[in-house]
Structure formats: structure tokens, C-alpha cells
């Protein structure tokens, strides 16, 4: 597993993500024995969380976005253990909402508007400088693309069984 994104074989990445995703899905099925009776919304939410978790586990703590996702998942687990339901965290994992979301990061090109939007979309990049932000975004997109491919393959597979 090479740390440089440009030299990572895309197929091996896809296989890693596939393994991790199936592992997470399997955990979902075994942990919740009453999965069939839970609401479709909750099931779909759990699959979605498994998807983001797979991406984050494969990357580990190497990237700010994966660290942010792992943090959100651990928070969610701690809350579930304390038998409290926090609906905010069951949605798509985001970095924790700051009290003052309107920061004026202006990069040399003056793209403050787009940059702010990008910081909201990529987890874990709120405090990063412009270079780090772009780097994290590229990495995040790469993993998102591969995860979507894995899920599409799975859907095709299950549809034909």
C-alpha cells in the first residue's frame, strides 16, 4: 500500500475498499439481529455509514478527512453505548460544527466563496490552509469515486442473484 496517491494501483484500492465495506456490512447484519424489522431509513443510513467508514478505515489516520470520519464514528459509538440517540451524527459524517462557521479564508486567487463551500463538503479541512485543502480534496474524491464503484458493483451483483 503506497502512501503516494499517484502510484496506488486503482484496482488494488478498489479491492481493499470492497473487503472493508463487506466486512462492515457483515458486522451490520450480525450485530442487529432484528435488521429485517428496522425501518428502511435506518437500514439505508447504516449502509451509508458503513460506506464512509470503509473509506476511513482503509486510509486510517493518514489523512485529515479520514481522521474526521473516524472521530465521528467513534463519537457515535460512544453515544450509542450511553443509550442516547443523537440524530445529528447518524447523518452523513461531517467534521464537528463550529460555533462560528463563517470564516474568511481567502486564498491568493481570491476564491473565498468556493473555498468555504469546499470546506463544508470535505470532512476535517476547516482549519487547513489552501494547499492542504486542495490536497485533501483530491484524495477524498479519489476514495469517494472508488467507493461508489464498489457499491455499484455490489448492487449489480445482488440484482442478478
Partner 1 sequence: MSTRRSRSRQSTTSRITDDQINDLVSKLQQLLPEIRTHRSDKVSASKVLQETCNYIRSLHRDIDNLSDRLSELLENTDPTQASIIRSLLTQ
Question: Rule CB under 8 A: is residue 76 a binding residue for partner 1?
Answer: no
Q: Which of 35, 78, 80, 96 binds partner 1 (CB under 8 A)?
A: 35
In the complex, the smallest distance separating the C-beta of residue 14 from partner 1, rounded to whole angstroms, is 9
Contact 73, 49 (CB under 8 A): yes
In the complex, the smallest distance separating the C-beta of residue 23 from partner 1, rounded to whole angstroms, is 8
Question: Rule CB under 8 A: is residue 4 a binding residue for partner 1?
Answer: no
70 or 140: CB nearest partner 1 = 140
Contact 60, 46 (CB under 8 A): no
Cell for 161?
442473484
Whole-angstrom distance, CA of residue 126 vs CA of residue 130: 10
Q: Which of 36, 81, 82, 83 binds partner 1 (CB under 8 A)?
A: 36
Could you tell me which residues come within 8 angstroms of residue 54 by beta carbon, excluding any fewer than 6 positions away?
17, 20, 21, 23, 24, 147, 150
In the complex, the smallest distance separating the C-beta of residue 86 from partner 1, rounded to whole angstroms, is 20
Amino acid at each position: 500500500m503506497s502512501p503516494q496517491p499517484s502510484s496506488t494501483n486503482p484496482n488494488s484500492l478498489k479491492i481493499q475498499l470492497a473487503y472493508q465495506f463487506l466486512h462492515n456490512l457483515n458486522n451490520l447484519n450480525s450485530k442487529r439481529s432484528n435488521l429485517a424489522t428496522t425501518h428502511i431509513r435506518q437500514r439505508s443510513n447504516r449502509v451509508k455509514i458503513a460506506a464512509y467508514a470503509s473509506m476511513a478505515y482503509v486510509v486510517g489516520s493518514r489523512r485529515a478527512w479520514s481522521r474526521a470520519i473516524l472521530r465521528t464514528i467513534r463519537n457515535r459509538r460512544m453515544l450509542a453505548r450511553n443509550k442516547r440517540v443523537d440524530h445529528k451524527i447518524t447523518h452523513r459524517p461531517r467534521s464537528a460544527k463550529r460555533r462560528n462557521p463563517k470564516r474568511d479564508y481567502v486564498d491568493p486567487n481570491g476564491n473565498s466563496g468556493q473555498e468555504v463551500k469546499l470546506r463544508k463538503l470535505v470532512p476535517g479541512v476547516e482549519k487547513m490552509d489552501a494547499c492542504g485543502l486542495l490536497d485533501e480534496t483530491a484524495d477524498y474524491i479519489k476514495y469517494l469515486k472508488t467507493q461508489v464503484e464498489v457499491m455499484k458493483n455490489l448492487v449489480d451483483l445482488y440484482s442478478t442473484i
